[in-house]
């Protein structure tokens, strides 16, 4: 199956634009990548690349080969995954996730493993803003992240999963029970969630609606880092209350809900589509786990 291997390498070279960039992704030396591409050109009796400087540019034949190579590699992967073996879910998919959803996704996969022993899932953690691009490019088969209305998701499957309300979180040393969060926001250093993100935009809109101008101290893109700084009494924050976060029972934290119906952010799952026979099963188990967690308090 050397031709399949060469076609797979060809697609990586075509995407990265150089043998050097491809060598890191396919775990080969740059020289080995070059040898594979020359062997593929010999087998197909055509020139696939125009070599110039450090990079390579696809020839007319190279560009024409891409859709055929994608189909051939895709069909081969489906054959290996045993799709004709009574619909067995097997093979490898790569999924991305924001940090706050990684625990939930990992728990889902742990529950799935005994049911699908030949299924392997590689998890990648990225910032929410880059996950949609990674799914669209094919680097990820699916991802769980924050909805951004400005992102173009045409041709992919987006499934809403759950919402997370914005809440005020402070250290217990500065926020005894019954504290007025407005006063705290005005008086204490404010740890702000990155304003370039959809969540950061919602937080800024909420502050304006409340008529509060906080004392900005730090602006970070990591919610876990912000909460850790609150634990160390560096400042106060407004962040989405992560689904798996048990901040209310953290001895160092005081959670102060916003009045009325607080703004929320929507977490969902995006699927690229080419491996939907696998990613859809993961989605179904994830939805089932969320349903069980939602029903648990009512059962007690």
Q: What is the pTM of this model?
A: 0.67
Strand positions, DSSP E, the chain: 49-52, 55-58, 91-97, 119-125, 142-146, 157-171, 189-193, 215-220, 236-240, 253-257, 264-271
Is residue 151's pLDDT more than 90? no
Is residue 234's pLDDT more than 70? yes
How much is the CA Rg of the chain, to the nearest whole Å?
A: 24
Report the greatest alpha carbon distance in the chain. Answer: 78
Taking the CA atoms of residue 177, residue 181, residue 183 and residue 188 in that order, the dihedral angle to the nearest 10 degrees is: 90
> Would you state the structure tokens that stand for residue 142, as one six-digit string?
């699916």
Is residue 98's pLDDT more than 50? yes
pLDDT of residue 149: 80
Domain boundaries, the chain: 2-80, 91-160+268-299, 163-265
Instruction: Say yes or no: do domains 2-80 and 91-160+268-299 share a fold.
Output: no
CATH number of 2-80: 1.10.10.10
Confidence label for 86 from pLDDT (cuts 50, 70 and 90) = very low
> Would you state the structure tokens that stand for residue 56, as one six-digit string?
């390579």
For domain 163-265, which architecture applies?
Answer: 3-Layer(aba) Sandwich (3.40)
Q: How confident is the model over 180-197, as pLDDT tens digits? A: 999 999 999 999 999 988
Q: How confident is the model over 7-63, as pLDDT tens digits? A: 988 998 888 888 888 887 777 888 888 888 988 998 899 999 887 666 778 899 999
For domain 91-160+268-299, which architecture applies?
Answer: 3-Layer(aba) Sandwich (3.40)
Cβ 287 vs Cβ 181: under 8 Å = no
């Amino acid at each position: 199956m050397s031709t399949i291997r060469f076609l797979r390498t060809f697609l990586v070279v075509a995407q990265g634009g150089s043998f050097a960039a491809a060598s890191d992704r396919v775990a080969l030396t740059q020289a080995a990548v070059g040898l594979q591409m020359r062997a593929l050109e010999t087998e197909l009796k055509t020139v696939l690349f125009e070599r110039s400087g450090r990079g390579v540019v696809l020839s007319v034949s190279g560009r024409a080969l891409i859709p055929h190579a994608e189909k051939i590699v895709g069909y081969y992967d489906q054959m290996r995954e045993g799709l004709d073996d009574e619909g067995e879910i097997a093979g490898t998919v790569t999924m991305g996730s924001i940090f706050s959803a990684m625990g939930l996704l990992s728990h889902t996969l742990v529950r799935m493993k005994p049911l699908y022993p030949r299924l392997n899932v590689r998890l990648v953690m990225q910032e929410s803003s880059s996950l949609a691009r990674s799914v669209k490019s094919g680097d990820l088969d699916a991802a769980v992240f924050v909805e951004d209305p400005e992102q173009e998701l045409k041709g992919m499957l987006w499934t809403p999963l759950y919402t997370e309300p914005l809440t005020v979180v402070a250290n217990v040393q500065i926020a005894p029970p019954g504290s007025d969060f407005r006063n705290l926001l005005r008086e204490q250093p404010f740890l702000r969630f990155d304003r370039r993100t959809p969540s950061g935009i919602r937080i800024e809109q909420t502050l304006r609606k409340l008529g509060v101008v906080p004392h900005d101290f730090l602006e970070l893109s990591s919610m876990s880092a912000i909460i850790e700084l609150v634990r160390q009494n560096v400042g106060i924050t407004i962040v989405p209350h992560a689904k798996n976060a048990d901040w209310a029972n953290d001895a160092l934290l005081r959670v102060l809900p916003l009045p009325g119906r607080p703004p929320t952010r929507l977490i969902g799952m995006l699927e690229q589509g080419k491996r939907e026979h696998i990613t859809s099963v993961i989605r179904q188990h994830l939805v089932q786990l969320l349903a069980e967690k939602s029903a648990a308090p009512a059962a007690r």
